[in-house]
Structure 1
Amino acid sequence: MTPYSATISNAMNTTAPTPEQDRILQQARAGDPQVIARLLNYKLNPEGINAKVTWSKSRLQIDLSAAEFPQPQRCTQIIERGLKKLQIPGLSQVEVIGNLSEQSQPLWRQTLSLASTALAIDLAAWLESGSSLQDAVVNLPAVSSRRSDITPLPHPEAQEQKYLNFQLGIENPALLPVESIQEVLYLAIAHVLPVPDMPDCVLGIYNWRGEMLWILDLNHLLGLGGLDLESLSTVTVIILKFSTHLLGVMVQTIDEITPYDPTLLQPPDGLFPPELEPYITGYLRETSSIVLDSEAIFHAPILQRR
């Protein structure tokens, strides 16, 4: 390991940086793209990946190049964790582009949102560890805007439930209860095997841990217009569970896990189109989000032909 690499290593891991390590971190937090690239490459180079960092207005662009990529999920996890540790002021979005060394066209693109809470960081930890989502969130600390030296007593009637925030279509925030989710995947579309004579909302099947997992476009199923798959090389898939059954639903993007009081949900009656209403358990006015019923998705009439 070169002296500079050793300094980078210590800067990324020590809790009390030396003056030289602190100088490197300050340069990165000031937005120096070369220093940011060196910090990221300390983690990415052992994976056979090299990062080049540039700024495009207020967005950070990270171009990755490799002879052979691991799953995009692995790359974006390393980058997201590194940038969250750096806490670069004003940086909220990062575009990551994966390039194979001998190809002129990008292999995949992924936009990361860094404007998240500690719950979102724990979600990233769950994705990397492979543990179940329920195990990852049941012991998470509550997020509070109160002073840290005040410990509020829990209200005996408060029964908050954790929800995964995600996006439907372009401007449709939605929620799913955490207990109905098994896992989140980032899939290359090429790995989904099309199946003939299926509804348009069904992409096909994917070999997930030795099991054939059905993948469908949730936007299309709910009548919100399907995603533009021709412009995507990878997709975000939420694996829903109901009883002993699993189903993969492709969505626009996922965000953080947030606790809400389910008693604040407004009944969906009359608020949404009749064809959409059966899939909604409630409407959260606080975030203008619909809460979806995973069981209703499993029993969608169009899917009963599977």
Structure 2
Amino acid sequence: MGGTTPIATDLASTTVRLQRLLPQLFQPEEKTGDRYLKFEFSPQQSGLISLEYVHEALRVPTRLVTPIPNMPDSVVGFMNSRNQVFFVVDLAQMLQLPATTANRQYYPVVTVRQSAASQAQDVYLNQTDEDTSLLGLVVHAIQGVIRLNAEEIASPIEEFSEELTPYLKGCFVQDGQSVPVLDVQAIATAKTLAAPGYAVTS
């Protein structure tokens, strides 16, 4: 005895029929839309940044971020990456959410451009224009990249606090939770970061 049992044969036949009738169920779905970096402000709240603005994502030892005196509490300090010096900001604290930088040995840092990358630039190659300033955003954790279509992003009105809303482009609802989509340019030009020379290139 041996070979395929009748039950196994029936299951195999059913699978073949389903593949013929509904082939889309057996093909991986290719998500379209723009790419966004998903991260956590805190374990309870995620956020999104358009990948057009992302220069790189780093795990930075705290000792490599130099504190700056007489700056807002949200400014962690400055750091050097790929021969560029720029400010590093605790994003959650800046947006008046619980701070993420206390008692950590490493900072998850999302380095963003103040202007979006051109279509010819590859955001993964860490290329920036010479006149593009960078800003480091310390987050709780970096989660990965997702794709969203424009119609999936809703207005943030009444979804978030008045302090957070000016820094948002919209929100995306995922698993019943509203995930804010951040406006990088609004963050980079925030009054709390208005000290001269906060983003320096060299």
2-side partners of 1:146 and 1:213: how far apart? 48
Corresponding residue of 2:128:
none
Mapping of residues 31-180 of structure 1, within 5 Å: 146-148=25-27, 160-180=33-53
Displacement after TM superposition at 1:248 (Å): 0.4
Percent identity, aligned pairs only? 28
Corresponding residue of 1:254:
142
2-side partners of 1:285 and 1:227: how far apart? 24
One-letter amino acid matched to 1:147: F
2-side partners of 1:277 and 1:178: how far apart? 20
Q: Which runs of 5+ in 1 are unaligned?
A: 1-144
User: Larger radius of gyration, structure 1 or 2?
Assistant: 2
* More moved, 166-175 vs 278-287: 278-287
1-side partners of 2:81 and 2:69: how far apart? 20
Q: Which runs of 5+ in 2 are unaligned?
A: 1-23, 116-131, 197-202
Greater share of helix: 1
TM-score (norm: length of structure 2): 0.71
One-letter amino acid matched to 1:238: V
Corresponding residue of 2:12:
none
Corresponding residue of 2:169:
281
Corresponding residue of 1:71:
none
Corresponding residue of 1:236:
108
Corresponding residue of 1:208:
81
Say what the alpha-carbon RMSD is for the aligned residues: 2.0
User: Could you list the per-position Cα deviations for residues 246-285 of structure 1 after superposition, in whole angstroms to 9, with x for gaps in the alignment?
Assistant: 1000000011211111212110112211111001111111
Displacement after TM superposition at 1:286 (Å): 2.9
One-letter amino acid matched to 1:236: P
Structure 1 runs of 4+ aligned residues shifted over 3 Å read: none
| 2:194 alignment partner, SS class | helix
Displacement after TM superposition at 1:151 (Å): 8.2
One-letter amino acid matched to 2:47: A
2-side partners of 1:256 and 1:151: how far apart? 18
One-letter amino acid matched to 2:109: V
1-side partners of 2:29 and 2:170: how far apart? 31
| 8 Å CA contact 2:41, 2:100 repeated in 1 | no
| 1:296 alignment partner, SS class | helix
| 8 Å CA contact 2:101, 2:138 repeated in 1 | no
Displacement after TM superposition at 1:305 (Å): 2.0
1-side partners of 2:42 and 2:174: how far apart? 20
Change (3 A) 1:151 1:304: closer
Corresponding residue of 1:197:
70
Q: In the alignment, which of 77, 84, 92 is matched to residue 219 of structure 1?
A: 92
Corresponding residue of 1:272:
160
Displacement after TM superposition at 1:228 (Å): 4.3
Structure having greater relative contact order (Cα 8 Å, sep ≥ 6): 2
Change (3 A) 1:213 1:266: same
Matched, 1:290 2:187: no
How many residue pairs get matched?
A: 155
1-side partners of 2:195 and 2:35: how far apart? 32
